[in-house]
Amino acid sequence: MAAIFEALRLDLWTFLFQIANLLIVIAILYRLLWKPVSKLLEEREQKIAGQLADAASAKEQSERLLQEYEAKMLKVKQEANEIIVKANRLGEEIKEEIITKAREEAERTIAHAKAQIQSEKLRAMASLREEAAVLAVLAAGKLLHKTITVEDHKQLVQEFIQEVGDVQ
């Protein structure tokens, strides 16, 4: 080994002294720098891990809120559809009710009009019969040159009304 040191022109004691100095410097640097730097790196690692955990938690919370929002939106859409269906159904019911009432009112109006027409027809026919009977009696009286008494006139009118009624 001494031959190697001489070839490299190194002094053994200087070499040992330099190695000792290096070990002392490493020990001092380890004590002074390594512990604070590792503590700093460990704190930084913990801070990053905490931030990652917070980010993961925030992501989970945002995903949960998104799912809740989507569920609420779906529920609102379903409720809106139900309201629309109910409104359409109610509209149809009201429409049918209005149509039914209108038909009933039209039927009542038609029945009332028919009753009035029938009543007017009967009244007109009775009036016509009476006038025809009076005219017939007067015409017959003129033809017979006979004076008809009130009693005869009433009897002839009644007979004529019966005959006209039987003809119809």
- pLDDT digits (tens), the chain, 168 positions: 667 767 776 677 887 898 999 999 999 888 888 878 888 999 999 999 999 999 999 999 999 999 999 999 999 999 999 999 999 999 999 999 999 999 999 999 999 999 999 999 998 888 887 887 777 777 776 666 566 677 877 887 787 777 766 655
pTM above 0.85, yes or no: no
- CB atoms closer than 10 angstroms to residue 154: 13
The whole-angstrom distance between residue 15's C-alpha and the CA centroid of its chain comes to: 94
CA distance 158 to 168: 16
Q: State the total domains in the chain.
A: 1
Angle, in degrees to the nearest 10, between helices 150-167 and 35-144: 130
Strands (E), 62-135: none
- What is the extent of the structural domain holding 11? 2-167
